[in-house]
Structure 1
């Protein structure tokens, strides 16, 4: 009986460790979204875009301006942050030199209750109509920045892509060449793992599996 209990304890520790490893987000979904964007552009004979971390950080601030109001994205109640917020709030929050702000040549924004893979967000959330495709494939863009974030440790989840015609070496320049990392959410080009709300959304999917495994193990041991 004692040996059975020890086996169960070790199993619990093993499952907990496995969950911890799984919860560590090693990929940045914003970078994956940029990859999907560039893959689509090159497939349609358009040029690949430079992933600008300064622009991407501003895309994350753009999301935060909605304060979790998913209903304000698209439809009759659609809203968008004022252009003045780029210089007044977004750039300072990211450490972007205001003098290097460049006009935005296109925006893609989507929101839904559940987190999905970047490829799905691209094809099913952001590419929702002909206008979106037109923005994506525009020849006016030279650089791109993408961001994804949840709200209050969970949904709704926002996806934002900003395009610009600035030059990579002198637009959206970061002070000290390092972006200010903010949470929750992540942005492309930051060389940073995505964490916060997105990681939590994956955590909750693991525990039903772990619990089922413990029940089966306990039954097998006759405990």
Structure 2
């Protein structure tokens, strides 16, 4: 194996992320930190393949801060649904540290290391069952400015779960800026679930 070949033991998503990171670092240049300075509220609808009778709805809060090419982000979401006398809740938080590089005047790339926790609670008037698991992983996104106001983005994500099967995901979304306010939408497809987010963001 040459020094430029990734080990075969690496999973395909991880190999893709590492290759994209190497390309991004080679093309590295100055970046505007304010691209990652924002507070955000998402209206979320999510579904799990293992729980087809529930359609989860709720809110997600996000906060991000950039320092040059580096940034950090915190996310927390709380979703719930009720069906056939059962209540089900999903609580999820995620912390990420990332690095971003410009690929062109209108396109940038970033990679993030993630750590988080997902908790599912199923209850009725007499019983409550709870399951939670930590995870760590990596994700990468490409952001492209179609115009001065309209952005498109796409991402890949890999999560290593402590108590469950590993998850792979892709993200697709768009944002439209009105000065400091941004409206947007994002679709995320995980191995066992998917989610639609409607976004309201304030940049600072």
What TM-score, normalized to structure 1? 0.25
Higher relative contact order (CA 8 A, sep 6+): 1
Q: Which has the higher strand share?
A: 2
Bigger Rg over Cα: 1
What TM-score, normalized to structure 2? 0.27
Q: Which has the higher helix share?
A: 1
